[in-house]
Structure 1
């Protein structure tokens, strides 16, 4: 059965913050169950959007069409419009997902939106800085974790915008995308910039190919 991770897209979304996560969800290599995952983009409308990096794309579906029951996770990238309150409909959808027990993963500015919506008031979380989230007027500062760059609390993942690999690792772990030792090797390569992780991943794929013969 194909599992779908949905990613919010809107003008100015920070494409690099979700690049690791989306690329490796779509990429079968090293996955525990290759061929069972896909990413679909969700726009407020069906109109083309332009990312902060200048990439133009057409959403796969609209926000009104998105149902938690059809999704494995909702990814919320940062962008320059969260602080202005222009993405309240995505904040509302995130609340629907969490209420339905479907994970939500937010990075950078998206954490500001969730804070303003009250979704971080009672959940352990992180972001770019405690002072940044305080500007949202939220009441969850006591649950802010300054020690981690990505935090998972049940069905909610939050991360600072400067650590997209840490965000991706938390997403993969919550989805069960990789075996634990494979995830560790993935982060060794992409998070720690340690080439030894590549050889562990290559060996894993070779062993799996040999077992399939």
Structure 2
């Protein structure tokens, strides 16, 4: 199986529980997850875990990636420390590579202007409105939203902080990890605790 690469951004205070549903399935279905830091220095997650980035942001190239995944973090709302990751998201989208952002990372993308013309969601509309962005008309009240890509730009996935399973669902759908029937079963199992979905998923 040809292994493909997902790049997970890591930074101090990043919400370590938010990408897990997605990355666990991706690594089991032919993908490699590599972590990207502002530098190569270790970071500490919101849960107190120490993570050593695989590469610094300066070395990240969208041509080498199937997805840039951005999680929430306290730092998204306390200054411009993480703005380089929002700029990297712009580079990805303009190169035709997809980006997935959850929780506070959506505010970072809003400040970068990446939500002004794309369907998106977040925690609540006024959270993004506080960034001063002009994309309010494109806000969708949903657990997770995928703005489809085109030949010229990459797809963008967004989700609110309470929806890591729905966030993963959109990522798994975009990267075609499961067919639609099995993806629905996976979501029902992990989001709704629907035990009947297990047989479908294993079938």
| 1:57 counterpart residue number | 51
| Displacement of 1:198 | 1.3
User: Normalising to structure 1: TM-score of the pair?
Assistant: 0.90
**For 1:85, which of 80, 83, 94 is the aligned residue?**
80
| Displacement of 1:137 | 0.7
The unaligned stretches of length 5 or more in structure 2 are: 149-154
Q: Secondary structure at the match of 1:158?
A: strand
Equivalent residues in 2 for 1:1-213 (5 A)?
Answer: 1-28=2-29, 36-83=30-77, 84-146=79-141, 148-154=142-148, 155-202=155-202, 204=203
Q: Secondary structure at the match of 1:81?
A: helix
How big is each residue's C-alpha offset from its partner over 1:98-155, in whole Å with a ceiling of 9 and x where there is no partner?
0001000000000000000000000010000100001111000011012x11000010
Q: How many angstroms apart in 2 are the aligned matches of 1:74 and 1:55?
A: 21
Q: How many angstroms apart in 2 are the aligned matches of 1:142 and 1:102?
A: 24
Q: Secondary structure at the match of 2:116?
A: coil
| Displacement of 1:27 | 1.9
CA RMSD of aligned residues (A): 0.8
Q: How many angstroms apart in 2 are the aligned matches of 1:177 and 1:65?
A: 27
* Structure of higher CA gyration radius: 1
Q: Secondary structure at the match of 2:192?
A: coil
Moved over 4 A (4+): none
| Displacement of 1:179 | 1.4
Q: How many angstroms apart in 2 are the aligned matches of 1:26 and 1:171?
A: 13
User: Normalising to structure 2: TM-score of the pair?
Assistant: 0.94
Q: How many angstroms apart in 1 are the aligned matches of 2:5 and 2:49?
A: 22
The unaligned stretches of length 5 or more in structure 1 are: 29-35, 205-213
How big is each residue's C-alpha offset from its partner over 1:39-94, in whole Å with a ceiling of 9 and x where there is no partner?
11100111111110111111111101110000000000001001222201001000
